[in-house]
Amino acid sequence: MEVTSERVAAASRLFFGITDYVIFSAMLLGCVGIGVYFGFFKVAVNAEQYLLGGRRMAIFPVAVSLVASFISGITLLGTPTELYLRGTQYVFMNVSIFTAPLFIGFAYLPVFHGLKITSTYEYLEMRFGKSARLLGSFLFIVGIITWIPIVIYMPALAFNQVTGINVHIVTPIVCAVCIFYTCVGGLKAVVWTDVIQTVLMFVAVILVIVKGTFDVGGLGTVWQRNMDSGRIELPDLGFDLTARHSWFGFLVGGFFGWLPLGVSQMALQRFASIESLPKARLTMWMFLAGALCLTLMSCYTGLLTYAVYHDCDPLTTKQATAKDQLLPLLVMETLQNLPGMPGIFVAGVFSAALSSMSTALNSISAVVLEDFFKTFYGQDALSERQTDILLKSVVVIFGVLCTSLVFVVEKLGTVLQLSMSLSSMTNGPVLGVFSAGMFLPWVNTWGAIFGGLTGLIFMGWVVLGSQAVMAAGLITIPSKPVTIAGCSADLLRHLNTTAISAAANSTITTDAASSVLPIYRVSYLWYTTMGLAVTLVAAVVISLVTGKRDLATVDRSLVTPLMRWVLPEGRRASATRVDRVRSSISTYEGYKAVKMHIILADNEKAKEAKEEP
């Protein structure tokens, strides 16, 4: 029987030991235990407790939870793959992390935190009406459904690399655990499992960095081998929008790429669980510091991976059967003599996915309850028991749906750019609708709704079209050269060395066919910016055509503090009274009742003054 390269590679692969399986299982059981504790012993008494932790969560666990939620397996596995294949340009994606949060903290966060709302899309109803709220909620759910399957698929690939167990077997099991503890435990279970999972993520990455760097010969060796291969390089200095990575793209496109964090339901549901705005801002900065550290460490693991395999590419020799299995392969080879350490790493990668999935499911349950059910059936349509059943049912239904879609993702190739591209398809339009409400008070309901739809249709065309031409091979992404010249004789003996040597030493170049539309060649760094710009322009034009909003009718609390100066003076005194009263109201419903009472009282006084002779 013919011995294939895949079989030879499989035979040479290293797999989990008993200790690794025990550690991985302990992580899953720990998550289940936290869910049981908050679901059966420290039970949330109402929806606010379930979704927001009673708005009394501590800063540190919420910040850690945000790190775990937004730094998924896509970062831990996809980032090293990006640097291994294409060099260090991607590292500079982080330059805008220092400017965007400052803008978010003073432009978007004060509005949301001041309104004390559970769903960010409640804002759209207050500003534009129910239709805009439903549109925003729908876009959020679409974005989550396209993102979570990618998040789940990444650690399943890692698990397959280190165990040989099929992706389709491990994925449903692990997702069932996530669905369980999210369903029964609510936000508190999500946050505290995130804390444990974040610790595992950091431990896992640090273990690989320290041991791998020591084994390869130190930092100098890592740097020199990457320098010799041309992987150490700066982004393009030009202003070409089609340059995949450029300084202009990172500084401007990256800035707008971070801004959706300011209107994200997943993030703002965490910020809303903090009792004051200054503490919420501090939480955001702590989250971004942790995210930056983990991202930079993931970038370094990419350089380390190349330093280890600089003369024997594991993709060519089929030691790694998928591009995003490079790091798990490195882990098994680096930590094989330390029982349990590979188990910690894979548990950490899976923890990143579980935390992202649990946060997304908890946020979807909030959106379905607040934006869909209560919008159509009213605030008091359900009892506490019925609300609890609805929230948990939503978690289960969407959890099963996202798990099922994992089988589609495995057909799509390298996932880092794919994930960012698909997220941008909805991020730009959603950010545009919220920004129109907060920064452009004259935009009306028609402008917001049709502006958002225009942005969505446009970005759907751009993103899906570009993915289609890439899948067809009309556009390819350049990769750095690799070689198998240093592979062992045992590994090469049964391989077609002539064919794979030619493949290993070739460099993939960009080959955009003349038939490809220029817009399909625009860098993915600009997708969110494009969606935002199209949405805002459409919203302004439609508002001007249909009759722009009278500024005197715009509530001051719904406009960002940076733009409240454009509102008429007459609205400021009334709004200030509302702001003062809101600080003493513990619930959003109470705030609305008091605000309506003040407005009616003002109207009555104005009517009486008008009737006086």
Q: What is the pLDDT of residues 106-122, one digit of tens each?
A: 899 888 888 877 778 88
Confidence of residue 213 (pLDDT cuts 50, 70, 90): very high
Mean pLDDT in residue range 81-108: 86
The one-letter amino acid at 482: V
Q: Output 593 or 423, whichever has higher pLDDT.
A: 423
The one-letter amino acid at 318: K
> Do 523 and 236 touch, CB atoms closer than 8 A?
no
- Is the pLDDT reported for residue 13 higher than 60? no
* Residue given tokens 């715009």 in the structure block: 554
Mean pLDDT in residue range 334-351: 75
CB-based contacts of 258, cutoff 8 Å, min separation 6: 96, 97, 100, 101, 104
Indicate the range of 43-47, 53-57, 294-298, 602-606 predicted with least confidence: 43-47
Percent of the chain with pLDDT strictly greater than 90: 12
What's the CA gap between 341 and 331, in Å, rounded?
9
Q: What is the pLDDT of residue 223?
A: 94
What's the CA gap between 451 and 82, in Å, rounded?
35
What's the CA gap between 378 and 597, in Å, rounded?
20
* Residue given tokens 């302004």 in the structure block: 540
> Do 490 and 522 touch, CB atoms closer than 8 A?
no
How far from the centroid of its chain's Cα atoms is residue 221's Cα? 34
Neighbours of 514 (CB within 10 A): 5
Q: What is the pLDDT of residue 1?
A: 34
Beta bridge partners of 236: 246
What's the CA gap between 248 and 74, in Å, rounded?
24
What is the DSSP code (8-state) at residue 486?
T
* Helix, strand, coil shares, percent, the chain, to 5: 75, 0, 25
What's the CA gap between 81 and 187, in Å, rounded?
33
How far from the centroid of its chain's Cα atoms is residue 549's Cα? 34
Percent of the chain with pLDDT strictly greater than 70: 73
Helix axes 416-439, 130-163, angle to 10 degrees: 160
What's the CA gap between 437 and 414, in Å, rounded?
36
Q: What is the pLDDT of residue 580?
A: 38
> Do 206 and 301 touch, CB atoms closer than 8 A?
no
Mean pLDDT in residue range 169-173: 76
Indicate the range of 281-285, 451-455, 531-535 predicted with least confidence: 281-285
Q: What is the pLDDT of residue 186?
A: 57
H or E element at residue 246: none
- Is the pLDDT reported for residue 600 higher than 70? no
What's the CA gap between 371 and 290, in Å, rounded?
31
Tell me, letter by letter, the H, E, C secondary structure of 62-87. Answer: HHHHHHHHHCCHHHHHHHHHHHHHHC
What's the CA gap between 223 and 295, in Å, rounded?
18
pTM for this model (two decimals): 0.74
- Which superfamily does 16-406 belong to? Sodium/glucose cotransporter (1.20.1730.10)
Confidence of residue 51 (pLDDT cuts 50, 70, 90): very low
Q: Output 558 or 284, whichever has higher pLDDT.
A: 558
Q: What is the pLDDT of residue 4?
A: 42
Indicate the range of 435-444, 482-491, 538-547 predicted with least confidence: 482-491
Confidence of residue 211 (pLDDT cuts 50, 70, 90): confident
Confidence of residue 58 (pLDDT cuts 50, 70, 90): low
Beta bridge partners of 458: none
Mean pLDDT in residue range 555-584: 64
Mean pLDDT in residue range 395-403: 80
**CA distance from start to end of the chain:** 107
- Is the pLDDT reported for residue 10 higher than 60? no
Tokens of 466: 């570009």
What average pLDDT does the structure give for the chain? Answer: 75
Q: Where in 126-258 does DSSP place strands (E)?
A: none
> Do 356 and 72 touch, CB atoms closer than 8 A?
yes
Coil, strand or helix: which one is 360? Answer: helix
- Is the pLDDT reported for residue 539 higher than 80? yes
Nearest CA to 71 out of 155, 168, 172, 182 is that of 155
CA distances 93 to 71, 249, 253, 523, 525, Å, are 14, 9, 10, 13, 9
Q: What is the pLDDT of residue 239?
A: 87
Q: What is the pLDDT of residue 510?
A: 44
CB-based contacts of 513, cutoff 8 Å, min separation 6: 469, 474, 475
What's the CA gap between 604 and 609, in Å, rounded?
9
What's the CA gap between 274 and 413, in Å, rounded?
39
At 182-199, the pLDDT tens digits run 666 555 666 666 677 677
Where are the domains positioned within the chain?
16-406, 568-613
Coil, strand or helix: which one is 185? Answer: helix
Longest dimension (CA), the chain: 107
Q: Output 243 or 44, whichever has higher pLDDT.
A: 243
Q: What is the pLDDT of residue 505?
A: 45
Q: Output 248 or 14, whichever has higher pLDDT.
A: 248
**Max avg pLDDT among 36-50, 417-431, 434-448, 553-567:** 434-448
- Is the pLDDT reported for residue 83 higher than 70? yes
